[in-house]
Protein backbone atom coordinates (compact mmCIF):
# COMPACT_ATOMS: atom_id res chain seq x y z
CA UNK A 1 0.00 0.00 0.00
CA UNK A 2 1.33 3.43 -0.91
CA UNK A 3 1.25 6.50 1.31
CA UNK A 4 0.49 8.59 -1.71
CA UNK A 5 -3.13 8.56 -2.87
CA UNK A 6 -3.38 6.59 -6.09
CA UNK A 7 -6.08 5.36 -8.45
CA UNK A 8 -6.35 1.58 -8.52
CA UNK A 9 -6.77 -0.31 -11.79
CA UNK A 10 -10.47 -1.02 -11.20
CA UNK A 11 -11.18 2.69 -10.65
CA UNK A 12 -9.25 4.01 -13.64
CA UNK A 13 -11.05 5.78 -16.48
CA UNK A 14 -10.12 7.38 -19.80
CA UNK A 15 -6.43 7.93 -20.47
CA UNK A 16 -5.38 6.39 -17.16
CA UNK A 17 -7.35 3.21 -17.88
CA UNK A 18 -5.64 2.90 -21.26
CA UNK A 19 -2.20 3.43 -19.72
CA UNK A 20 -2.89 0.85 -17.02
CA UNK A 21 -4.08 -1.67 -19.61
CA UNK A 22 -0.91 -1.19 -21.66
CA UNK A 23 1.31 -1.54 -18.60
CA UNK A 24 -0.52 -4.66 -17.42
CA UNK A 25 -0.26 -6.22 -20.86
CA UNK A 26 3.48 -5.56 -20.96
CA UNK A 27 4.38 -6.31 -17.31
CA UNK A 28 1.49 -8.32 -15.91
CA UNK A 29 0.89 -5.70 -13.21
CA UNK A 30 1.07 -1.95 -12.59
CA UNK A 31 4.05 -1.12 -10.36
CA UNK A 32 3.52 1.38 -7.55
CA UNK A 33 6.33 3.48 -9.01
CA UNK A 34 3.96 4.23 -11.90
CA UNK A 35 0.77 4.38 -9.83
CA UNK A 36 2.08 7.47 -8.06
CA UNK A 37 1.38 9.28 -11.34
CA UNK A 38 -2.24 8.06 -11.46
CA UNK A 39 -3.69 11.41 -10.40
CA UNK A 40 -1.92 12.99 -13.38
CA UNK A 41 -2.12 10.54 -16.32
CA UNK A 42 -0.36 12.94 -18.70
CA UNK A 43 2.67 12.89 -16.41
CA UNK A 44 2.49 9.09 -16.36
CA UNK A 45 2.43 8.95 -20.15
CA UNK A 46 5.42 11.32 -20.33
CA UNK A 47 7.36 9.31 -17.73
CA UNK A 48 6.72 6.08 -19.63
CA UNK A 49 7.94 7.78 -22.81
CA UNK A 50 11.14 8.99 -21.15
CA UNK A 51 11.78 5.49 -19.78
CA UNK A 52 11.18 3.92 -23.21
CA UNK A 53 13.61 6.38 -24.82
CA UNK A 54 16.29 5.83 -22.19
CA UNK A 55 16.07 2.05 -22.21
CA UNK A 56 15.21 1.27 -25.84
CA UNK A 57 16.12 4.34 -27.90
CA UNK A 58 19.38 4.97 -29.76
CA UNK A 59 22.26 5.57 -27.34
CA UNK A 60 26.01 5.06 -27.02
CA UNK A 61 25.34 2.40 -24.34
CA UNK A 62 24.13 -1.04 -25.32
CA UNK A 63 20.84 -2.37 -23.99
CA UNK A 64 22.64 -4.79 -21.60
CA UNK A 65 24.76 -1.91 -20.28
CA UNK A 66 21.63 0.17 -19.61
CA UNK A 67 19.99 -2.78 -17.86
CA UNK A 68 23.09 -3.30 -15.70
CA UNK A 69 23.08 0.37 -14.67
CA UNK A 70 19.37 0.15 -13.80
CA UNK A 71 20.00 -3.01 -11.78
CA UNK A 72 22.85 -1.47 -9.78
CA UNK A 73 20.90 1.73 -9.08
CA UNK A 74 17.88 -0.33 -7.96
CA UNK A 75 20.07 -2.44 -5.67
CA UNK A 76 21.70 0.64 -4.12
CA UNK A 77 18.23 2.13 -3.53
CA UNK A 78 16.94 -1.20 -2.18
CA UNK A 79 14.24 -1.15 -4.83
CA UNK A 80 12.49 -4.39 -5.77
CA UNK A 81 11.76 -3.39 -9.37
Query: pLDDT tens for residues 16-42?
Result: 999 999 999 999 999 988 999 999 999
Confidence check: pLDDT of 2 > 70: no
Range of the domain at 64: 9-76
Q: Is 26 a member of any domain?
A: yes
- Averaged confidence pLDDT in the chain: 93
Q: Is 1 a member of any domain?
A: no
Q: Is 2 a member of any domain?
A: no
| pLDDT bracket for residue 46 (50, 70, 90) | very high
Q: Is 81 a member of any domain?
A: no
Q: Is 27 a member of any domain?
A: yes
Q: Is 3 a member of any domain?
A: no
Do 64 and 54 contact (CB within 8 A), yes or no? no
Q: Is 4 a member of any domain?
A: no
Number of domains in the chain: 1
Amino acid sequence: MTWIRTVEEGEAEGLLKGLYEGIQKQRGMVPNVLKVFSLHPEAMRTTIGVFQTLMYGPAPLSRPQREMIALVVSAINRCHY
